[in-house]
Amino acid sequence: MVEWLVSFFPVLVVAILIFNIYQKKYGEQGIQKRMATFFMAAGVLGLFAVITFLKHKGLPVYYAMIYLVAVVVSFILNRKRAWPYKLKCEVCGQRLGWEDVLFLDGNTHSSCRPVPTESIEEATE
């Protein structure tokens, strides 16, 4: 069971990083969510490294639970950075679309977002 799980970790890390690269398409509007997926990938990669190290040294794999608990505690303590995904708009309370949930910071609808004053001034000049 553990061998199958360990063999799946690199695929999971690559999938998370590909998703992270796709998030780059949204630029400055999605930096928080992009960093959150990067931290997720780092946590999974770290767990893979710990389990591989334990297997290599002949130690029981359940020692990896210590690392897993540390990662979960750090995610709980930093939950605003580690999990910035919300399903409902923070302004009006309606359900957000997938693009707003997964890619754009702010967790608000496009109609609820404040319009940047810089773009209004540039448009009038």
100 pLDDT band (50/70/90 cuts)? confident
Residue 89 is predicted with a pLDDT of 86
By mean pLDDT, which of 23-27, 57-61, 77-81, 120-124 is the weakest? 120-124
Strand partners, 88: 95
What percentage of the chain reaches a pLDDT higher than 90?
31
Mean pLDDT along residues 48-71: 90
Amino acid at 16: I
pLDDT at 5 over 70: yes
How many whole angstroms separate alpha carbon 78 and alpha carbon 97?
25
Judge whether 39 and 49 are in contact, CB under 8 Å. Answer: no
95: left (phi over 0), alpha (psi -120 to 50) or beta: beta
Q: Is the pLDDT of residue 51 over 70?
A: yes
Strand partners, 95: 88
Angle at 60 between CA 59 and CA 61, to 5 degrees: 110
**100: enclosing H helix or E strand:** helix 98-102
Residue matched to tokens 């990662």? 71
